[in-house]
Structure 1
Amino acid sequence: MSAPVLANPAPLFVVFNPKSGRGTWPDTQEALRSACRQAGRPLHLLPLPRHQPLEPVIARAVQGALGEGGIVVAAGGDGTINAVAHQAVARGCAFGVLPQGTFNYFSRAHGLSASPQEAVAHLLQGRPEPVQVGLVNERTFLVNASMGFYARLLQDRESYKARYGRSRGVALLAALFTLMRGFRTWELQARWAGRTETLRTPTLFVGNNPLQFEQVGVEQGEAVEQGELAAIALEPLSRAAMLGLLVQAGLGRLDKASEVRSLSFRELEVAATQAPRGQRVRVATDGELRWMQMPLRFRVSPKPLWLVKPASLERERG
């Protein structure tokens, strides 16, 4: 697939979530308006509604960018970026990022700055480059997709953040709360590359972001840079052992844990052996929770995401 052709000057259609992460949207908006005014770049700002579907706004932005040879831009955290990227990948639209989230794994993995001024400069100077995307049951993920304990941890974390605010301390408190509630051990039949294996695990985590793997100390992230996805499945654990693994992950030492099973693939099918085919399971994609039917099919998307960035940028290292 060839790269999108941009107009000169290419207009920006910015879909933004003013509530994301650190609340830097006012500074980013000012940097955007100033830089686009100086560069003569048309700018369209489209806020995401609260408590309403996001897809119509995103579709309007993508259609506008395609019709005018422009760039659809996601301003927000990984969840907002995922929602906009899902439609950009499907339509082959040029895609830009103005990171506003707490962790910003996607933007950091591609060397995009969290500074509003630098992020806007990168957007205005860049050209579309193909970036690998993961799919789970045809839903896009840029950073990771998971089921089981990790997905429930994210659900509890969002509940705590809504009540107590966004901080790493609140995220840790939520993780401890999830751990104390206990967790289910899944029996999964996994098929990939002509192999079939039964996995007994409390969680399955599939990643498309080498930086995240580096931070927890898993070498399997190298597979992502070679055109594959990487998965982690934990052995059945007690609560105390799971707490120990969470600590090791926080210290970047998960590679030393014997309870961790990792593998890499381009396509992976996962079915629950003790549940009827078609059972629904909660899956987290880039931190956003949704219900999906089993079996889960993870694969590298045949379509890239055309990310706008200067060619000289290098990704952050863990």
Structure 2
Amino acid sequence: MNDGSQPESSGTDSAQRSAMSVPRLDPASALLFVINDAAGALDVDAKRAVIQSALAAKGRKGELLTCRPAELACVATEAAAAAVARGTAVVAVGGDGSLNTVAQAAHAAGCAMGVIPYGTFNYFARTHGIPTEPAAAAQQLLEARPMPVQVGAINDRVFLVNASLGVYPELLQDREAYKARFGRSRWVAFVAACATLLRAQRRLRLHIETGSTVRDVQTLTLFVGNNRLQLQQFGAEPEDTLPGTPGDGSMAALMLRPIGTLSMIGLMLHGAMGRLGEAAGVEGFEFHHMVVKPTLAPGRKKVMVAFDGEVARMRAPIDIRVLDKPLYLLQATGAAGTANAPQAAA
């Protein structure tokens, strides 16, 4: 089945394209580790020690590139270019936001990417069979192979897990403020989300085009998921209407219609129980390509968006799509597809 937004292609053609574009990986070449020294609870020396221990145990070489958040994009871009030239991979060390920045550079350059997770939820790592314990992740990636994984794009930005407009970007900003005051934990993230949702009033007026379908809606937020595990934990996987699943062939969109305070409390309870898809006022659907045209105030041309925990302003219209070109992620053979494995609640 096709939604009209992308041409059909045979499985043989897809396999041939993937085989031709697999990045070269020379085990004798040093891996390039991009370390966000602000990500996670451990200090940078502890992160470096984890990586150095894994490298020494396997007799491998690595270059450890430590940087502040403001330097991350530049360091990642330079590392990805060097990885292509040397036939090696760039490895992101940090949370989902750090992974996004490194993935942007690796995808553009065409090099392989590894992951050592230090985030709060680590949806991307968990979905692709990467251990959430950093030492185990470092050991695994030294024996891993580049495997294609699906990425999405919102305008010119790659995203791995999710993208959104409306109240969700506000939620992320509030969450960072709560973390700065109360520390990093899933409970802090949950309390911040509740506080944001209970005061959510601003409505988005959106003109949405998906293939031949055109809709005008009002919503508090438009959330796009490229990660089946996250959607499962929300209890919000959409009805299966397209080939594949979110993160592996399609993406999912969730819309939250404007509702009152009591209904919002009920919605949060559904979300806490992993049954968001059953809540009144929540609509979900699958898509390959979606164009979103928000109604903006006179003189405004940009809208606040979020992608993988990062927040930015983008010029409308907002184009969201599954990219044909995959990201080549270092994975242990048979490690992918762990979305159904038992995990701690996020």
Query: What's the TM-score once normalised by structure 2's chain length?
Result: 0.86
Is the CA contact 2:237–2:284 (under 8 Å) kept in the aligned structure 1? no
Asked whether 1:80 is paired with 2:98, we answer: yes
Quote the offset at 1:64 in angstroms: 1.9
Q: What does 1:180-195 correspond to in 2, within 5 Å?
A: 180-195=198-213
Is the CA contact 1:221–1:230 (under 8 Å) kept in the aligned structure 2? no
Quote the offset at 1:80 in angstroms: 0.3
Moved more, 239-248 or 145-154: 239-248
Match of 1:137 in 2: 155
Change (3 A) 1:302 1:240: same
Could you tell me which amino acid in structure 2 is paired with residue 125 of structure 1?
E
Moved more, 142-151 or 236-245: 236-245
Quote the offset at 1:183 in angstroms: 2.2
Secondary structure in structure 2 of the residue aligned to 1:307: strand
The separation in 2 between residues aligned to 1:316 and 1:257, in whole angstroms, is 23
- Residue deviations 1:111-155, cap 9 Å, x none? 100122321121011110000001001201100001111110111
Is the CA contact 2:167–2:200 (under 8 Å) kept in the aligned structure 1? no
RMSD: 2.0
Q: What does 1:193-208 correspond to in 2, within 5 Å?
A: 193-208=211-226
Asked whether 1:8 is paired with 2:27, we answer: yes
Q: What does 1:250-289 correspond to in 2, within 5 Å?
A: 250-273=272-295, 275=297, 279-289=301-311
Is the CA contact 1:209–1:221 (under 8 Å) kept in the aligned structure 2? no
Is the CA contact 2:194–2:268 (under 8 Å) kept in the aligned structure 1? no
The separation in 1 between residues aligned to 2:184 and 2:307, in whole angstroms, is 19
Aligned length in residues:
317
The separation in 1 between residues aligned to 2:47 and 2:308, in whole angstroms, is 22
The separation in 1 between residues aligned to 2:212 and 2:147, in whole angstroms, is 32
The separation in 1 between residues aligned to 2:333 and 2:141, in whole angstroms, is 11
Match of 1:153 in 2: 171
Asked whether 1:110 is paired with 2:128, we answer: yes
Unaligned 5+ segments in structure 1 are none
Change (3 A) 1:277 1:134: farther
Moved more, 220-229 or 75-84: 220-229
- Residue deviations 1:48-89, cap 9 Å, x none? 225x34222112211221121111000000000000000101
Secondary structure in structure 1 of the residue aligned to 2:28: coil
Change (3 A) 1:296 1:238: same
Quote the offset at 1:242 in angstroms: 1.9
Secondary structure in structure 1 of the residue aligned to 2:97: helix
Q: What does 1:213-292 correspond to in 2, within 5 Å?
A: 213-220=231-238, 223-273=245-295, 275=297, 279-292=301-314
- Residue deviations 1:249-291, cap 9 Å, x none? 1210112123111111111001124656962111110010000
Change (3 A) 1:283 1:21: same
The separation in 1 between residues aligned to 2:149 and 2:184, in whole angstroms, is 29
Could you tell me which amino acid in structure 1 is paired with residue 121 of structure 2?
F
Match of 2:322 in 1: 300
Match of 1:42 among 61, 64, 68: 61
The separation in 2 between residues aligned to 1:169 and 1:306, in whole angstroms, is 33
Is the CA contact 1:9–1:40 (under 8 Å) kept in the aligned structure 2? no
Could you tell me which amino acid in structure 2 is paired with residue 171 of structure 1?
A
Percent identity, aligned pairs only, is 42
The separation in 2 between residues aligned to 1:214 and 1:25, in whole angstroms, is 33
Unaligned 5+ segments in structure 2 are 1-16
The separation in 2 between residues aligned to 1:277 and 1:193, in whole angstroms, is 29
The separation in 1 between residues aligned to 2:175 and 2:68, in whole angstroms, is 22
The separation in 2 between residues aligned to 1:300 and 1:123, in whole angstroms, is 26
The separation in 2 between residues aligned to 1:140 and 1:198, in whole angstroms, is 26
The separation in 2 between residues aligned to 1:129 and 1:60, in whole angstroms, is 22
